[in-house]
Structure 1
Amino acid sequence: MLAVTAGACADDRREPLVVLGPWTGDEGEAFETMLRRLDDGAGRTYTYQGTRSLRETLVAQLEADAPPDVAILNSVGELTEYARAGRLQPLTPAATARAYPPWAPALDVDGARRTYWVPLKVDLKSLVWSVRGRPAASPRWCVGLASQATSGWPGTDWVEDILLHQAGPDVYTEWATGRLSWRDRRVRAAWTTWAALLGDRSRASLDQSLTTPYVGTPDPAKGGGPRGLLYSLTPRCTHEHQSAFIRYVYAGDPVDVRPSAGFLRGRAAHDGAYEVAGDMAAVFGDDPAARTLVERLSGARARTLWRAEAKRELRPFFPAATDPQPTDPTGRRIAGILTGRARTLCFDASDVMPPGLRDAFHRAVLQYFRDPAPRRLDELLGQLDTVREDAAEDTGPGRPPSSGVCAPPGG
């Protein structure tokens, strides 16, 4: 009996915990190596599954009643839905202590207030990249709206960022959580400001932007890797609005990065606010070891290992100033804003919204980019308001709280 029991325990130790996440290629390899090194040999082993079709993969696994033990998602709206549906396990106290706002608000679910996810990797979004030495006075904007997963999000980032800077964190929060109409004049002004910034565009330019990936076209000099929009589009553009992650595309290129509020001079009353995004880990399996794994993934050792394994230009940003941060000049500057210079951080609004409304927002941006006529905008905002109202009937008390969307830099 002792031999059988010992054998069963050994089998249990060998059964790996599965982590499903969004990183592939070099990013996926760095995370997987960190995960492998995080295993101390005393308990369970870990295996990583990386995919660019994260939502579709997770939904399929849930429908097959075979969820991963841990999944890493960037959408607070999706995570909120899973928590309300009873799919998520609340975190351990140690992991909860690292659930810094605005990345991980506590939720009221079934009469209890708990934390269900914790940020592993974060990004700063309110940034403009440019060819070094190009003045900010008259930018020619690069736009690439195509994405393998969901096209249109580079445009929603623009609308969100403009609304945050023009109307402030309070209005932004009310809108992101479905408490403000899309037909509100301040929301409408964000769309029209975006169109005015981009200026008149030819049909060829519109088509090029709608079909060009957000990372630009392949560059033979980089082994087929992306060359970035600043070097991809014809005629040459000078400035690009994009999140901090794009720095890996421009590694070695002469580019500058500046806060986006400076490009709304005369319109931006809230230049201390920045939009952010994140990749959050949540426990889907009922194995207690999965909760322990998330606790370890959000800890100092995991972050130190991850930074050591990642290529210099792919070293992740973490939410607290005490965390290890990138060491390249661009990375250090961005980390300084993220963990110190910013007065307020607001989570990506479309990723706060329920998935159905987020997807409708992406589609509406593509339609508006092609046809920015005032009457067309009124139609699109009316349609989005209908989706918002329908979503509000389903979310109830489980939707993200207003107090959790924007917050000072934490940790």
Structure 2
Amino acid sequence: MSPRCRTNRLVSRVLRAFLAVCLLALFPGCTSDTPDPLVVLGPWTGKEGEAFEAALKKLDDGTGRTYTYEGTRSLRETLVSQLEADAPPDVAILNSIGELTEYARRGKLRPLDPKTAERAYEPWAPTLLVDSKRRTYWVPLKVDLKSLVWSKEGTPSDDPEWCLGLASQATSGWPGTDWIEDILLHQAGPERYTEWATGRLDWRDPAVERAWTTWARLLGDRSPASVEKSLTTSYEGLPGTDGQSRGLLASPGFGCTHEHQSAFIRYVYAGDDVRVEPSARFLDGLPEYRDAYEVAGDMAAVFSDDPAAQELVERLSSPAGRERWRAEADPPVRPLFPDMAGLPPTASADPIEQEIDSLLTSRARTLCFDASDAMPPELRDVFYRAVLEFFGDPTAEHLDSLLRQLETVRVQVGENTGGDPSFLPPEDICESRGG
């Protein structure tokens, strides 16, 4: 090689190095071969968030990708703002199939790979018809059993005094809608419940009205001070001297004996002497639908075209991913899964966890997804507000007005979303398990 050639090559190499330094200064990371971390947006904070994040980090088994978890109690607002800024997360975990359905209809979600779609357990992940193609758009990662009543051990159950905290950091009112949904499911049955939850039943139907009036009768007469306390107290109860929530059963000033709440509330009562029972035991005349239970879930959906996002959801929903997550979680926040097949039993499970797991996986004959979480967000939010108003004024005249308002919104939502023949929302949110 001639001296001139060697000189030219050296100049070229120096020039490339110089340009690389300049680019790195202007655009950090642009010259790196390491891909950016995948962003996962989810609802878990505190110990739940820590356990999930720890499991997420352990999923990096030589794949070359890392993951960043963003946990927030204001999940919907955060995701909406990110979508408006055209900066969505790679994966988001939501508990509302009503919201997920709307994102799929608007083309924001990516259909799941077939291997992952096999874990779209019913009733948490119904398929959707989008652009005339029926596909799976989300998969449940963690689930919860509702239709439960909590009480202190030794407390008589023949005349319960109901705890109720309706406030929530994100959206208040949902502990009340949980009550009405559960009552309607047990009184009217899964078929009528499904028609109502999926927008095919008039809110003024006698079965719907009966659920509201039954709730008011169960709660009994309440003083204005008691009503105000329930409207302004969190569903987690009041904090103790250590700043941690004590649960409504242990909160001073309530004097209540029983609480209607989902399985997740067990983290508040960790170490307390409590028991859990099916809510049907507290409703009369329900022999046919006694073994029906309402459930909720946290579903993972892909918002990114990055193939690694699909791979992440597949790994999170796999038996190995579940086992990592469960191993990282403390017993009070240990996740429940829609199908425990392939996972060894948890030796340290306490009696409460064992009871809930038994109901969810074997004793429940019908599982129905949370009705308000299946509704379009506009209708769900009006439902939340209506419950708060009815709790303050449970008169027949006020209920009639509220149900008329809800029916108006149902019709309007149906008119706005029902004109596209290539799209169909979920029509079945219950699963019969026989027996």
Shorter-chain TM-score: what band?
over 0.9
In 2, the alpha carbon distance for the partners of 1:353 and 1:268 equals 28
Q: Once the 2 structures are TM-superposed, how far is the Cα of residue 236 of structure 1 from its aligned partner? A: 1.0
Change in 2 beyond 3 A, CA 1:103/1:272: same
In 2, the alpha carbon distance for the partners of 1:338 and 1:298 equals 18
Q: Paired residues, what number? A: 404
Q: Secondary structure at the match of 1:226?
A: coil
CA deviations on 1:56-104 (whole Å, 9 max, x unpaired) are: 1100100000000000000000000000000000001111000000000
Q: Once the 2 structures are TM-superposed, how far is the Cα of residue 269 of structure 1 from its aligned partner? A: 3.7
**1:133 paired residue number:** 154
**1:35 paired residue number:** 56
Comparing 251-260 and 394-403, the one that deviates more: 394-403
**1:310 paired residue number:** 329
TM-score by length of 1: 0.95
**2:121 paired residue number:** 100
Q: Secondary structure at the match of 2:275?
A: strand
- After TM superposition, the structure 1 = structure 2 runs for residues 9-408 of structure 1, keeping only pairs within 5 Å, are 11-220=32-241, 223-267=242-286, 269-322=288-341, 324=343, 327-396=349-418, 398-403=423-428, 405-408=429-432
CA deviations on 1:118-172 (whole Å, 9 max, x unpaired) are: 0000000100000111121100000100001000000000000000000000000
8 Å contact from structure 1 (residues 166, 268) kept in 2? no
Structure 1: tracts of 5 or more residues without a match: none
One-letter identity of the residue aligned with 1:261: A
One-letter identity of the residue aligned with 1:400: P
CA deviations on 1:179-234 (whole Å, 9 max, x unpaired) are: 000000000000000000000000010001001100000012xx321100001142
In 1, the alpha carbon distance for the partners of 2:267 and 2:359 equals 18
In 2, the alpha carbon distance for the partners of 1:212 and 1:323 equals 41
8 Å contact from structure 1 (residues 338, 409) kept in 2? no
Structure 2: tracts of 5 or more residues without a match: 1-15, 18-28
Q: Once the 2 structures are TM-superposed, how far is the Cα of residue 267 of structure 1 from its aligned partner? A: 4.6
8 Å contact from structure 2 (residues 151, 257) kept in 1? yes
Q: Once the 2 structures are TM-superposed, how far is the Cα of residue 329 of structure 1 from its aligned partner? A: 1.6
8 Å contact from structure 1 (residues 17, 290) kept in 2? yes
Q: Once the 2 structures are TM-superposed, how far is the Cα of residue 266 of structure 1 from its aligned partner? A: 2.4
Structure index of larger Rg: 2
Q: Secondary structure at the match of 1:219?
A: coil
One-letter identity of the residue aligned with 1:27: E
Seq. identity, %: 67
**2:20 paired residue number:** none
Q: Once the 2 structures are TM-superposed, how far is the Cα of residue 235 of structure 1 from its aligned partner? A: 4.3
Q: Once the 2 structures are TM-superposed, how far is the Cα of residue 328 of structure 1 from its aligned partner? A: 2.1
Q: Secondary structure at the match of 2:58?
A: helix
Task: Name the Cα RMSD after superposition.
Answer: 1.9
Q: Once the 2 structures are TM-superposed, how far is the Cα of residue 394 of structure 1 from its aligned partner? A: 2.3
8 Å contact from structure 2 (residues 147, 280) kept in 1? yes
In 2, the alpha carbon distance for the partners of 1:107 and 1:69 equals 21
In 1, the alpha carbon distance for the partners of 2:433 and 2:240 equals 37
Change in 2 beyond 3 A, CA 1:78/1:310: same
One-letter identity of the residue aligned with 1:187: V
Q: Secondary structure at the match of 1:14?
A: coil
TM-score by length of 2: 0.90
